[in-house]
Amino acid sequence: MPRLRRFVLPVLFALVASGAQVGAADGASRWAPSSTAAIHPGVQMFTGDAQCTANFVFTDDAHRVYVGYAAHCAGTGDSNDINGCTTRSLAMGTPVTFGTGAGLLTSGTTTGSGRLVYSSWHTMQARHEKSAIRCAYNDFALVRVDAASVGKVNPSMPKTGGPVGLDTDGVPVGSTLYTYGASSMKLGGNGSARTARKTATEGSGWEHVVRGGTGIPGDSGSGYLGPDGRAVGVLSTLAFGLSGTSNGVGDLSRELAYAQAHAGISGLRLVPGTVRFHTS
C-alpha cells in the first residue's frame, strides 16, 4: 500500500472581483554531480505525515548544509491556519526525510535525512513578533542535512539550473518566474518544471502573487527563480477567487534576512547552483 501523506499548502478562499558572495567552500567541487544528486531544490520532503517540496540549498560559516522549505510544512494546524504568529508547529529537531517518486499510487524512495533547525513561525512566536505583515507572510524554514546525507546534495534547480544568486530588489509585475514542484498528489510522483507570471505584490513586498503553472498541495515550499535566474521566493499559499487560481510566493530576500538576524546561524547564505541558468 502507498504511504498516506498530508499534502501541505495553506488554502485561501478569497472572493474578489478581479546574491550574496560565495566562499571557496561553496564551490562546485563541494557538491554531488547535479545529474546524480539525490537531494536538491525540487526534491520531496516529508515531515511527519506532511509532504512538501524543497526550495534552495543554504550553508553557513561552519560549512553545514541546509535545505529550505515553508514553515507551514511543519505546522500542526489545518490548511487555513496561515498566521505564523499563532499557529503551532512541530518542535525544532523534528526529523525530516528527503525522497523521490512518492505519488498517489507509489510510496517513493527515501534519499536522505535531516532535522528541522529553523522555522520563521517558531521564531516569530518566541520573539512575540508584532508585525501583522510578517505574521501573515514570513513562511520559511530550514532543515539541516545530516552528515551522512551531505554528500548527496547539489544546489541546482532541476531543468533550468541556477539559482545564480539571491534576488534582493524584487521582480516587476508581468515577469516570468520558473519553479519546480514535486507534489505527491500526482500520479507517479514525478516532479515537474513550470513557469508562472507575476501579477501583483502584496504585504509591502513580502509576497509575490503569481498565476499560471499553479502549484498544488505538496508543492508547498518550492522555490521560484526570476527571469535572470536569481532566487525570488518560496511557495506559500494557494488562493481561489472569482478571477481564478493564484499562488502566494513569499519573498526570499526578506525571509532569509529575518532568519539571518534571528536563527543564530552564523553566515547563513544561499548557495548558487552549479548548473548554468537556462530557460530552453
Q: Please confirm whether the linkage preceding 158 is cis (ω < 30° from 0).
A: no
Average pLDDT, the chain: 89
**Residue given cell 535525512 in the structure block:** 113
pLDDT in tens, 8-60: 556 544 433 333 333 344 666 799 999 999 999 999 999 988 999 999 999 99
Residue 200 Cα to chain centre, angstroms:
20
In the three-class reduction of DSSP (H, G, I as helix; E, B as strand; rest coil), residue 203 is classed as: helix
Judge whether 53 and 73 are in contact, CB under 8 Å.
no
Q: Where are the alpha helices (DSSP H) in the chain?
A: 120-126, 132-137, 252-262
Give this prediction's pTM: 0.91
Query: Could you tell me the pLDDT band of residue 7, with boundaries at 50, 70 and 90?
Result: very low
In Å, what is the CA distance from 196 to each residue of 19, 63, 208, 213, 246?
A: 22, 33, 11, 5, 10
Query: Could you tell me the pLDDT band of residue 182, with boundaries at 50, 70 and 90?
Result: confident
Cell of 210: 503569481
Q: In angstroms, rounded to a whole number, what is the distance separating the alpha carbons of residues 265 and 278? A: 32
Residues in the chain: 280
pLDDT in tens, 52-83: 999 999 999 999 999 999 999 999 987 778 89
pLDDT, position 235: 96
Residue 111 Cα to chain centre, angstroms:
18
